[in-house]
Amino acid sequence: MLRLPASGGRYTFSACSFCDKLIRMEPLENRIERASALLKGSDRAAAFTGAGISTESGISDFRSPGGVWDRYRVVTYQEFLARREDRVEYWKMKKELFREMQGARPNRAHAALAELERTGKLTCLITQNIDGLHQDAGNSPEKVIELHGTNRRAVCLSCAHEWPIEDIQKRLEAGVEEPLCEHCNGYIKPATVSFGQSMPEDEMRRAFECAVRCDLMFMVGSSLQVEPAASIPSTAHRSGASLIFINRTETPWDHIADVIFREDAGEVLHRLTTGLL
Ligand SMILES: [Zn+2]
């Protein structure tokens, strides 16, 4: 049984539940100071974001109970291809998810990462999210690497024709249960990576290149539980980058982070980026 040092004084400690190493949590001001120094010394920063960055924008994390994902059965890619009733089930869930996403606006954490790009520090932004909020906040589309694709577009699985998602949502709202391609009658699917579908090779390659090249990586709002995405911060670490983790809960990789924040991502990132001005 691991004994924790007395929490008297200015520090609190917690043991990493994955590796038992001690994680030292300094007072917030000290951590802001250390993270600011890392950011000031960086000229090739990167960010890696997960669902946690968008929850404040009203988009449910698919792991959170009561969210859209909780109310529908997960339809795998193979099931989607195989059976009409699975496609209908899939589109029911998407219809609800689109309504949720339509009202979503970038929050302060998205805004701060867009600001970081404007300062010239941010070289790439890897995201597990499919909501497009980084681009809405002002990050350049060419710098955003969407590992799980995007919900902003739909694509025909047969002829690759693409539609803005609003066009498909209109059909669903009009009562269409399973939208089909008007050119080839193929199945239409949002341009996301579904369960059972392989990760996009190009995006994965770019994400790992970004991790190898950066000198500082912000990890925001991911519990780093899903591979291979979870290996991105550790790849950055092995290549010599500093790591700043901003996440409400612990992750299996906390022991390699230089600074950890459990506080609100918008607040922390806002303070770090305004400190640059
Ligand atoms: Zn088609």
How close is the Cα of 162 to the center of ligand 1, in Å?
9
Asked whether the bond before 27 is cis by omega within 30 degrees of 0, the reply is no
CATH architecture label of 60-103+150-192 = 2-Layer Sandwich (3.30)
Helix locations, the chain, DSSP H: 28-40, 68-71, 77-82, 84-102, 108-118, 133-137, 165-173, 201-213, 231-238, 265-274
Whole-number Å distance between alpha carbons of 223 and 200: 21
How close is the Cα of 271 to the center of ligand 1, in Å?
47
Q: What does the block give as tokens for 101?
A: 């996403």
Residue ranges of the chain that CATH labels 3.30.1600.10 = 60-103+150-192
| CA-to-CA dists, residue 227 to 128, 136, 234, angstroms | 11, 27, 12
Q: What does the block give as tokens for 137?
A: 């906040």
How close is the Cα of 127 to the center of ligand 1, in Å?
28
Whole-number Å distance between alpha carbons of 241 and 260: 15
User: Among 134, 148, 183, 237, which one carries the catalytic annotation?
Assistant: 148
What pLDDT, on a 0 to 100 scale, did the predictor assign at position 8? 42
How close is the Cα of 183 to the center of ligand 1, in Å?
5
What pLDDT, on a 0 to 100 scale, did the predictor assign at position 131? 93
Q: Can 255 be counted among the known catalytic residues? A: no
How close is the Cα of 155 to the center of ligand 1, in Å?
8
Residue ranges of the chain that CATH labels 3.40.50.1220 = 1-59+107-148+199-277
Q: Near ion ligand 1, which residues have CB within 5 Å?
A: 156, 158-159, 161, 181, 183-184, 186
What pLDDT, on a 0 to 100 scale, did the predictor assign at position 51? 92
pTM to 2 decimals?
Answer: 0.88
CATH number listed for the domain at residues 1-59+107-148+199-277: 3.40.50.1220
User: Per DSSP, what are the bridge partners of residue 164?
Assistant: 153
What pLDDT, on a 0 to 100 scale, did the predictor assign at position 1? 41
222 and 48 Cβ atoms separated by less than 8 Å = yes
With a cut of 50, list the residues of the chain below it in pLDDT: 1-9
How close is the Cα of 44 to the center of ligand 1, in Å?
41
How close is the Cα of 190 to the center of ligand 1, in Å?
13
SS3 content of the chain, % helix, strand, coil (to 5): 40, 20, 40
